[in-house]
A and B are shown apart, each in its own frame.
Chain A
Amino acid sequence: MNAIEFSLLIGAASLLAGFLGSLTGLGGGVVIVPVLALLFKVDIHYAIGASLVSVIATSSGSSSAYVRKGFSNMRIGLLLEIATTTGAILGAFLATGTPTGKIAIIFGFALMLSAATSVRHRKEQAPDRPGDPLATRLRLNASYPVGKTMEPYQVRRVPLGFGLMFGAGTLSGLLGIGSGAVKVLALDEAMMIPFKVSTATSNFMIGVTAAASAGIYLSRGYVQPAIAMPVTLGVLAGSLLGTQFLVRARTQAIRILFAVVIAALGIEMIYSGFTGRL
């Protein structure tokens, strides 16, 4: 394959991944690594480096829209970024010593987790629950727009959320994904933040988390510009396209279909990891 064919094919695949990722809220990064590794036979370390760069692009691109709507909570984001960035650096160091097969297996399980959380029913939390006293001391409680009024919310179980975020960061650094699934889980289930706020805040944090491990990937020679170029431009264009459609349709059918694709890629990654084909 020559460079033009390689760039066009990977650019097109990344565009589709970015489009579906933003349409379903799952992010495109999660399918980039398996697509590069399984379909294009790119070494998994290069695939992870390119994916990580595209994750920064989509996170920063989409959170600029969220931030303007006033859903994201900067204090929660920054506080938890202490956990996600240290986790991400740990993950990046782990990635360099972990054999390809093992990374593929862990990746497969992360894909299955993403697929499972994406079809789960997210219920709005009751606003009148007592918050964590620590959240009050850390000034994490805030309010967010619901229609024309501002609805206050209380943040719960801060230490548990912090711990889960460290895990999300490690996963992100190890696999080159945003690990939005774990972040949203920590914000929703542990800290009981309303889901509009948790989606926006998680998006906000993904870029910072990915930037923490990207520095280490770059200096170890994992970021190959000839791969990062079509992946980043494709995913970014696709996700911008996706946000245009998002307003009109967030259909359950696409979501389930994409979740099935992700789960299938997960099984394929685990199988390839065990059989040593990667």
Chain B
Amino acid sequence: MAPRHIYIANAEQDTRMEAQVGMLLRVGVLSSAAVILLGGVLFLVHHGRSVVDFTIFNGTAPELRRPGSILLHALHGDDLAIIQCGVLMLIATPVARVAFSIFVFLEEHDFLYVAVSVAVLIILLYSLIWQH
């Protein structure tokens, strides 16, 4: 059983870390939503009157599938790529949270949970970066 004072110190650290995580999540979600909204407005201005039909699955255009090409096309002002860029930022938010926890546990010298966080991060990056 750990001495009482160590337990309290950890609880205080946990609270501080939780406040930072809360901030990270809020900023991530709100900025992604803003980018999605921007892309959405541009899309509706350009193609608002076009007929849309998604009853048959064809898959999205190849440039909307990879993080690198999404970013490239978004920078060129492609409206759908801008929406997709916001989607990428949204996906990146929980990934950033996991990455952040690595540093928090390092600071606490909790190496078991440094390892756990690294494992989760590797799984996430495998899914996001690997060509499937």
Contacts and interface: CB of A to CB of B under 8 A. Distances in A.
A2 B40 contact: no
Contacts of A233: 33, 36-37, 40
A219 B67 CA distance: 9
Interface in B19-78: 19, 21-23, 25-26, 28-29, 32-33, 36-37, 39-40, 43-44, 47-62, 64-66
Contacts of A155: none
Contact of A46 (B57, B88, B97, B98): B57
A3 B50 contact: yes
A214 interface: yes
Nearest to A68: B22
Contacts of A212: 123-124, 127
Nearest to A208: B94
Interface stretch (A58-66, A111-119, A179-187, A256-264): A58-66
Interface in A203-248: 207-208, 210-216, 218-230, 232-233, 236
B127 A139 contact: no
Which one of B29, B119, B126 has the highest number of Cβ atoms from chain A below 10 Å of its Cβ? Answer: B29
B113 A3 contact: no
B25 A60 contact: yes
A89 B47 contact: no
A42 B58 CA distance: 12
Interface string A47-77: 0000001001101110111011010101100
A229 B43 contact: yes
B123 A218 contact: no
A46 to B, nearest CB: 5
Interface string A76-112: 0011011001101100110000000000000000000
B49 A74 contact: no
Which one of A72, A228, A229 has the highest number of Cβ atoms from chain B below 10 Å of its Cβ? Answer: A229
A169 to B, nearest CB: 10
Contacts, number: 211
Interface residues of A, number: 65
A43 interface: yes
A227 B23 contact: no
A121 to B, nearest CB: 29
B36 A229 contact: yes
Contacts of A39: none
A235 B15 CA distance: 29
Contact of B93 (A4, A56, A236): A56
Nearest to A1: B52
Interface in A1-39: 1-4, 6-7
18 contacts: A2-B48, A4-B48, A61-B29, A85-B127, A207-B94, A214-B128, A215-B128, A215-B129, A219-B130, A219-B132, A220-B132, A221-B61, A223-B64, A225-B87, A229-B40, A230-B40, A232-B36, A232-B87
Given A88-B127, A89-B123, A218-B65, 10 more contacts: A3-B49, A3-B51, A43-B54, A74-B17, A79-B113, A81-B120, A214-B127, A215-B91, A224-B54, A224-B60
Interface of B: 11, 14-15, 17-19, 21-23, 25-26, 28-29, 32-33, 36-37, 39-40, 43-44, 47-62, 64-66, 80-81, 83-84, 87-88, 90-95, 97-98, 101, 110, 112-113, 116-117, 119-120, 123-124, 126-132
Interface of A: 1-4, 6-7, 41-43, 45-46, 53, 56-57, 59-61, 63-65, 67-68, 70, 72, 74-75, 78-79, 81-82, 85-86, 88-89, 92-93, 138-139, 143, 150, 207-208, 210-216, 218-230, 232-233, 236
